[in-house]
Amino acid sequence: MIDVCVTSCGEHSYKRIDCSGHAGFAKGGKDIVCASVSILVINTVNSIETFTKCKVIEAEEDSAKGRVSVIFPEGTAGEATLLIDSMLLGIRSIEEQYGSKYVKLTEVKE
């Protein structure tokens, strides 16, 4: 199962994204659930780094373990928050469609 945990630090600000595990929906290379979540998370982080002024610290990335951990030391605002909100919408949709057996989203308020 893929665990995605997003930590917020205020009403419209995020502090951290942690994603780990593999969905186990299908064999490696054919797992559409794993690929979908990976694309959403990695594209969101890349978009924040490319299109916003938000500071990003990539604490850990390990594709074999399906792990990505990203810290926003000053929190997010504006466009960066919108990008994460969009990512969460996509992950919630995947969780609803395929079930929490394969992906689980947790939102923590700091």
The domain containing residue 68 runs over which residues? 2-109
> What is the DSSP code (8-state) at residue 52?
S
Q: Which pair of structure tokens corresponds to residue 47?
A: 């978009």
pLDDT in tens, 73-87: 999 999 999 999 999
Domain count, the chain: 1
Q: Cβ–Cβ contacts within 10 Å for residue 2, how many?
A: 25
pTM higher than the cut 0.85: yes
Integer Cα distance of 11 and 68 in angstroms: 24
Residue 16 three-state SS: strand
CA–CA dist 110, 104 (Å, integer):
19
Q: What is the pLDDT of residue 7?
A: 97
Asked whether the predicted pLDDT for residue 96 surpasses 90, the reply is: yes
Q: Looking at residue 51, what is its pLDDT?
A: 96
Please name the residue that has the structure tokens 């978009």. Answer: 47
CATH code: domain of residue 91? 3.30.70.1490
Does 3 or 65 have the greater pLDDT score? Answer: 3
Residues in the chain: 110
- Buried/exposed 9-48: b ≥16 CB within 10 Å, e otherwise: beeebbbbbbbbbbbebeeeeebebbebbbebbbebbebb
Residue-level pLDDT at 10: 85
Express each pLDDT in 36-93 by its tens digit: 999 999 999 999 999 999 999 877 888 878 899 999 999 999 999 999 999 999 999 9
